[in-house]
Amino acid sequence: MFSFEDIYSAADRIKNVIHVTPVMTSSYIDSLCDMKVYFKCEHLQKTGSFKARGALNAIKIIVSDPENKSSSVITHSSGNFGQALAWAAKIHNIPCVVVAPNNAPISKLNAMRDYGANVVLCEPKDREMVCNNLRDTGLHTEMVDPFDDYRVMAGQGTIAIEFLEQIPDLDALLVAVGGGGLCSGIVIAAKKIKPTIKVYCVEPEGKNLQHSLDSSVRSWDPDAGPVKTIADGIRVLRIGKKCFPPIFEKCERKVLTVVSFHVQS
């Protein structure tokens, strides 16, 4: 299972490597929203995204377990988590394979390779299948899912601990949702630290998370392709099986959907 204690342990595990990212404000945004808005700048994190937190936590758990025989790791990613896992694996001298969709941005594919990953390209809808097949045929290869992995979820949840230490008076958090690893970790940590805080899921148009929250089940078309959005990091259509329960149980029922025009602008 997954709890706040896992997130707290992750924070201690990764604290000497991960950046404490700054919080920024904008008087213009404040005036538009008629409230004080704070931005947690995880784009300034190692590898350029929050995903370094979860990836590093997973790798540190793997290498510290004397019973773990894994000598390499594998994941699937359109770029950000692949970069993060390759970076974390590299600093621990572990080979890393990333299965990536062939429509991933060239810049992100090159970045994964620069961090030392062996990148395997496939059709966008096949990346999980290809990843699982490579894992099953590899010797001592451990799968680290980019979002549906408790180790990853715990690492991402450390953002909430850090954010609430920086700005204790936060009333609500707006969290972008792809596979749900970030939001599930954040909502567990935030609600433990400050039970009155509200956590809202923010999704790109076409994801339809609202329907799943209304029906209380993960209800996505298994044959549907990725969400069509310029935000390539959250194109994954469905929420992970492990990520969905905390999101359903603890997040606000109202999902905030952003149309493509607003994402681009």
List residues with catalytic annotation.
Answer: 51, 78
Buried b / exposed e over 158-192, threshold 16 CB at 10 Å, is: bbbbbbbeeeeebeebebbbbbbbbbbbbbbbbbb
**Residues linked to residue 118 through DSSP beta bridges, in sequence order:** 97
User: Which candidate, 61, 57, 91, 68, places its Cα nearest to that of 182?
Assistant: 57
Helix (H, G, I), strand (E, B) or coil at 66: coil
Q: Are residues 55 and 81 in contact, defined by beta-carbon separation less than 8 angstroms? A: yes
The Cα 14–Cα 220 span in angstroms is: 34
